[in-house]
Every structure is written in structure tokens, then in C-alpha cells.
């Protein structure tokens, strides 16, 4: 199947270019985040530096963001070997991987299959988001992983263990988290956001893998890890309250969609009712991408 999503979510054309530009912040000893600065299509990037090796989590959108992430990771890691893993295949998280020359790239199997199936369609879709995004995607080359694992993989970086775990289907089919059990730090990718609405990539017929019901279960399982610091896909890192807020939002959205559908309301009416209602419930969340609520409604209606 060739994926070519037809729904193009609107982005704020006045936003800064989607380039990794932040300076790393140390959130635990040897654990760094290059913050997204709340810039659209810039992810939070993790760099975990052990005694023997360092792990980078996500690469950014396109070769220039990948080069920025790689340069910062190299500064932090010195001459230690680098590993790169991705929370999921989406372009702003993974399409900068080509810059990590010499690094060992690790995917879970589902993520790898999803990447191969959907990368061309997503590249085309994202190029349609505007000149600034298309410019950053210029020269993208797809990079295959060196290691593909099933279920879970633990990386001993030397004095630090990183637990890579597969969770999909939720936000994507191949979602992966990275948990540092000693430091109690959890990097979630787009399973969790901070003051951004969760993203439902529901683009029928090309991509309908987002699974809202399973996503809720995944958040419940992540809560049992007792993380103290949660690094979301987008927005500031924070405490475990981010997991609770995500769970609350997803369950509220699911129950409201079910309630309104049972009353006979159609998709358009439900979106029109829930948009303002959810914005009132989360008044400090970013409202620039209302399609995130709409596709959430569509996802739960389809389930
Ligand atoms: Zn994503």
C-alpha cells in the first residue's frame, strides 16, 4: 500500500522554522533534553550519556535538525559511541536520522515496518505543510536501522540502563518509550504532550492505525513505572502529572464522543460541541491546531 494522506493539517505559517535549535538541559545526572521551545514540528530530543556509550532519542525533522541534534549529542558524549533510537517514525521525530553517521540505529520491529510502509506518504504530506517545512525536508534520505528488536530491549550504556519498550498501536503503530529505571526518567514521544492536544494521525484511508482505546491502556501501564520526570514528545518536561493529564483527556474525549454519538449527533456536530468544551477544560493548552481535536473525535467514532 502506498500511503498518501489527503488530509493536510493546518499549521501556523508565521511560526518559526521547524529546526532543532535549543541548548541541552540536564534533567538528571548525564540525562539531557534538547528542548523543543514549543516550536511546531520540533520534538524534544533526549541524550543519555553513560560511561561507555550514549543514546539519543529522536533526531528532528530533516537533515539540518538531525545535524544539530547530532552535533549536540557529540558534544555531550565526547568520543563515546552513539546509539540513536526513535519514539516513532513520524517525520519530525525520525527524518533527521541520516545525520547520525556512525551511530547504531535501533527500532522496534513494528516501528520499522510502519516506517517502511508510510515514510513516502508522510514525506509528501509534510512537504505540503508549507515552504518552511518543505525546506527542512530537502535532501531527506531514509536510513535503515542496524538493530531491530521485538517487544523490548535494554541498553547498558555503562552506569546507566535505558529500557526501550514497544507499546503500539496507540499514537502510532510502533510507539516506543525509553525509561531509565535508576533515574526514573521516561521519554514518551507523542504518547504524551505538555499543553498541546494529543495528536491523532487519523488520515483514512491511508493511515488509520491510531488506536485511542489502546492508547489509554498504554498510559495506564506507563503510570505503573512510577517515573518522576516525563519528557513528552512536545512541550516542557515535567512530572508524572503529565501521564495523569493525558489519561484524563483521552478518557474524557472517548466518553464525550460516545455520549454525543448515542444522542444521535453526527461527526461534525460532535466536533463543533467538543472543540469549545475541551478548550474550556484545558485553557492553557495550545489552540493553534484544532484538527487535533477533530481527528481525535473521528478516531473514537471509528472505534
Ligand atoms: Zn507523532
| Tens digit of each residue's pLDDT (9 = 90 or more) over 122-154 | 999 999 999 999 999 999 999 999 999 999 999
Chain centroid offset of residue 273 CA: 27
pLDDT mean over 155-179? 97
Rounded Cα gap, residues 122 and 90, in angstroms: 8
- Helix 212-223, helix 291-302: angle, nearest 10: 100
State in Å: Cα 201 to ligand 1 middle: 8
Ligand 1 centroid to Cα of residue 202, in Å, is 11
Residue with cell 553517521: 101
Indicate the length of the chain as a whole number: 303
Q: What is the mean pLDDT of the chain?
A: 95
Report which of 193, 214, 202, 191 is spatially closest to residue 299, judged by C-alpha positions: 202
Q: What number is the average pLDDT over the span 2-22?
A: 63
pTM above 0.85, yes or no: yes
Note the pLDDT of residue 3: 42
Share of the chain above pLDDT 70, in %: 95
pLDDT per position as a tens digit, 97-111 = 999 999 999 999 999
Q: Are 166 and 111 in contact (CB under 8 A)?
A: yes
Instruction: Quote the CA–CA distance of 50 and 280 in Å, as a whole number.
Output: 44
Predicted local confidence at residue 11, as pLDDT = 54
- Rounded to the nearest angstrom, the distance between the alpha carbon of 190 and the centre of ligand 1 is 5
- What are the residues facing 240 on neighbouring strands? none
pLDDT bucket at 13, cuts 50 / 70 / 90: low
CA 263–ligand 1 middle distance (angstroms): 32
Q: CA 194 from chain center: how many Å? A: 12
Residues 6+ apart with CB under 8 A from 74: 82
Distance CA 46, CA 35 (A): 9
Task: Please compute the mean of the pLDDT values over residues 148-175 and round it to a whole number.
Answer: 97
Neighbours of 203 (CB within 10 A): 23
Per-residue model confidence (pLDDT) at position 6 = 40
Q: How many helices (H) and strands (E) does the chain have?
A: 8, 12
Ligand 1 midpoint to CA 228 (Å) = 23
Please give the Cα distance from 295 to 203 (Å, whole number).
8
Q: What is the pLDDT of residues 51-71, one digit of tens each?
A: 999 999 999 999 999 999 999
> What is the band of 168 on the pLDDT scale with cuts at 50, 70, 90?
confident
CA of 2 to the centre of ligand 1 (A): 19
pLDDT in the model for residue 17:
87
Give the cell for residue 247: 489519561
Phi, psi (deg, nearest 5) at residue 201 = -80, 70
Amino acid at each position: 500500500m502506498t500511503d498518501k494522506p489527503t488530509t493536510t493539517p493546518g499549521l501556523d505559517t508565521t511560526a518559526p522554522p521547524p529546526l532543532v535549535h535549543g541548548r541541552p538541559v540536564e534533567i538528571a545526572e548525564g540525562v539531557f533534553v534538547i528542548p523543543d521551545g514549543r516550536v511546531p514540528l520540533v520534538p524534544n530530543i533526549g541524550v543519555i550519556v553513560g560511561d561507555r556509550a550514549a543514546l539519543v532519542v529522536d533526531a528532528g525533522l530533516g537533515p539540518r535538525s538531525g545535524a544539530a541534534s547530532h552535533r549536540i549529542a557529540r558534544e555531550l558524549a565526547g568520543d563515546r559511541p552513539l546509539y540513536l533510537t526513535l519514539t516513532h517514525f513520524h517525520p519530525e521525530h525520525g527524518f533527521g536520522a541520516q545525520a547520525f553517521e556512525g551511530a547504531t540505529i535501533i527500532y522496534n520491529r513494528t516501528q520499522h515496518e510502519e516506517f517502511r510502509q508510510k515514510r513516502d506518504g508522510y514525506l509528501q504530506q509534510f512537504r505540503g505543510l508549507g515552504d518552511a517545512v518543505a525546506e527542512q525536508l530537502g535532501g531527506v534520505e531514509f536510513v535503515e536501522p542496524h538493530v531491530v528488536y521485538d517487544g523490548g530491549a535494554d541498553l547498558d550504556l555503562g552506569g546507566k540502563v535505558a529500557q526501550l519498550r514497544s507499546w503500539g498501536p496507540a499514537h502510532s503503530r510502533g510507539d516506543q518509550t525509553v525509561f531509565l529505571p535508576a533515574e526514573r526518567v521516561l521519554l514518551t514521544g507523542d504518547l504524551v504532550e505538555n499543553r498541546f492536544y494529543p495528536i491523532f494521525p487519523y488520515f483514512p484511508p491511508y493511515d488509520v492505525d491510531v488506536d485511542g482505546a489502546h492508547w489509554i491502556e498504554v498510559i495506564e501501564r506507563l503510570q505503573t513505572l512510577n517515573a518522576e520526570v516525563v519528557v513528552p514528545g512536545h512541550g516542557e518536561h515535567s512530572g508524572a502529572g503529565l501521564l495523569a493529564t493525558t489519561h484524563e483527556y483521552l478518557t474524557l474525549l472517548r466518553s464525550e464522543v460516545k455520549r454525543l454519538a448515542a444522542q444521535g449527533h453526527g461527526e461534525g456536530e460532535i466536533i463543533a460541541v467538543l472543540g469549545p468544551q475541551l478548550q474550556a477544560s484545558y485553557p492553557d493548552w495550545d489552540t493553534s491546531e484544532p484538527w487535533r481535536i477533530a481527528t481525535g473525535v473521528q478516531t473514537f467514532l471509528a472505534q
